[in-house]
Amino acid sequence: MISGSALWMIGKKKLKRTNRNGGAMGTMNRRRFLSLAGMTGFACLWAQPGSAFAQSGAQTRVSYNPKDYSKLLGMEGFSDTLLKNHFALYQGYVTHTNRFIETLDAMLKEGKTGSPEYAELKRRFGWEFNGMRLHEYYFENLRGQGALDKTGKLFRKLSEDFGSYETWEKDFKATGTMRGIGWAILYHDPLNGRLMNFWINEHDIGHPAGCTPLLILDVFEHAFMIDYGLRRVDYIEAFFKNIDWKVVEKRMS
């Protein structure tokens, strides 16, 4: 146990060093110091470098780890070769997302935010991050069994907004077969509850602000060409047979 006198001597040295370095600690006598130390704890007031308190204000580096979707192997309509290639591409987005975070953090610390390189990486970051996240949504709404529950809230809402489930499905599939590469996504607008099918041409462009993605269909060539060639319609049919509707409906809540 450190005595009050010892605390005061250590604190006095700290105060002198703080004031010498431009700190604004103000005048603190022995009684005032010991009072504060008693109320808040000496460790909190004078944490040494490396302690939990000293690091609490430091920036925490966030990194992402690729998720394991091997449970999808053996899924009907998707060969293991296709899926493994798709997993590898997804893992590349995770790797690049982490690299971009580290590089942008370093450039910020080095004062390079006014450089063209910083600006280009900032613009590109959305592509890498969304490429990672959209693939996770896509893989996670697969490997389902059975049709959408007709008594559930999602079926009822699709029927309400589109006139019938069949009309929604027709529109979603039509969106997915449009010329070009991208994503077909069923979005939920939480402000008015409306469900809408969107075509997303690039990972980072065209997403409706504030809306929640419910069902994600990847229609970039890598998602189907190994198995289906140019037959995108057949790929979409296989996709619908494997939708995990429980996951999709849960995203709506």
pLDDT in tens, 14-59: 434 434 344 443 444 444 433 433 333 323 323 333 323 223 345 5
On whether both 52 and 115 belong to a single domain, the answer is: no
Q: By CB neighbour count within 10 A (0-12 exposed, 13-18 middle, 19+ buried), where does 138 fall?
A: buried
Domain membership of residue 83 (yes or no) is: yes
Query: In angstroms, how far is CA 24 from the centroid of its own chain?
Result: 40
Q: How many CA atoms lie within 13 A of 224 on its CB side?
A: 23
What is the predicted pLDDT for the residue at 39?
A: 36
Domain membership of residue 197 (yes or no) is: yes
On whether both 173 and 247 belong to a single domain, the answer is: yes
Residues 184 and 248 sit within 8 Å (Cβ to Cβ): no
On whether both 246 and 157 belong to a single domain, the answer is: yes
Q: What residues make up the domain containing 107? A: 72-140
On whether both 132 and 86 belong to a single domain, the answer is: yes
183-188 vs 195-200, strand pairing mode: antiparallel
Confidence category of residue 145, pLDDT binned at 50, 70, 90: confident
On whether both 30 and 91 belong to a single domain, the answer is: no
pTM higher than 0.85, yes or no?
A: no
On whether both 203 and 132 belong to a single domain, the answer is: no
Domain membership of residue 193 (yes or no) is: yes
Domain membership of residue 45 (yes or no) is: yes
Q: What angle do CA 110, 105, 200 make, to 5 degrees?
A: 135
Query: Residue 7 corresponds to which amino acid?
Result: L
Domain membership of residue 147 (yes or no) is: no
Query: In angstroms, how far is CA 138 from the centroid of its own chain?
Result: 13
On whether both 221 and 168 belong to a single domain, the answer is: yes
Domain membership of residue 196 (yes or no) is: yes
On whether both 115 and 163 belong to a single domain, the answer is: no
On whether both 40 and 131 belong to a single domain, the answer is: no
Domain membership of residue 30 (yes or no) is: yes
The H or E element spanning position 221 is none
Domain membership of residue 98 (yes or no) is: yes
Number of domains in the chain: 3
Of 87, 113, 140, which residue constitutes the final position of a domain?
A: 140
216 bridge partner residues: 185
In terms of pLDDT, which residue wins out, 105 or 146?
A: 105
On whether both 245 and 158 belong to a single domain, the answer is: yes
pLDDT (tens digit, 9 = 90+) per residue, 209-251?
Answer: 999 999 999 999 999 999 999 999 999 999 999 999 999 999 9
